Structure 1
Amino acid sequence: MSERLFKTVSMGLAMSKTFDQKTKLNRAIKRLKEFGIIEYLKTTDLFNATECLKPLSSSVASGDLRALDIVDFLGVCAIYASGITVAAAVFVLELVLGRRKEKRGREGGKDGKDAKDTKDTKDAEDTEDARRTAVKGTEG
């Protein structure tokens, strides 16, 4: 029963509705199908076509189908495990390198100050100088 449900047509030609050679083309395709040339080309050109073109019920009846075993999943499990291992290694590497970079940033400024702290101090001094100049200008 499933053969009738899942059977598909795998060939087609695109042409306009007004194609004047449509009837001749249809006759030629019909002849190729009647003589078995299309079926012959399918079986010779497609790799393993004899297995693919068998109806689904033939493989079920012969007992070729079996339940999957854990051995069938070893390749997938190996790929998954290697991906997890690489991700963990990259994570640890980022933690180690991040801490080193953080230590360098703290030791980079003068007198144990960060470069950012030095910049903030300089900005504060400039602001204070500007305020003093403004106060002197209003008093004098």
Structure 2
Amino acid sequence: MSNTAAWLAMLLALVVLAAAAGCGAAPGEEYADLRRNCKAALDEAETVFAQGNFEAACQKYDEALQPGGLNPDLYVLAVTKRAVCWGYQGKFDEAFAALDEVAPGAANLDMIYAARSFLLRKQGKIAEAKAAWGQAKRINRSVEQF
């Protein structure tokens, strides 16, 4: 094989490899798809949560909580609402652990305290629930109870 033929064969092989490596969505498209899918799952979770279907809401919040899929405020919202769903299911340890994880630096700390208040009420810890609710109201007077 001549040098020119060998060079053309290598060039063709490189073009084929480059084309194969480029198959699929670009990383930016994959990230945009992830964010769209997580936001759609969050919207569905909010709908079924409002309807009182906490088991389905919990599943949708799980779908929404993919790493990098939601901005920080929406991530905390989803974790908090999923914790409330867990409270309805009696999964208090998981619920409190999730709230403890997102509380540091959370912008919507009022909602976290409101969720804590709800979970404590469900456990019959009324005094602690009132204290948590008081914390929520100090942060945001218009915060709503779960």
Larger Rg, first or second structure (1 or 2)? 1
On whether the aligned pair clears a TM of 0.5, the verdict is no
TM-score by length of 1: 0.34
- Structure number with the bigger relative contact order (C-alpha 8 A, sep ≥ 6) is 2
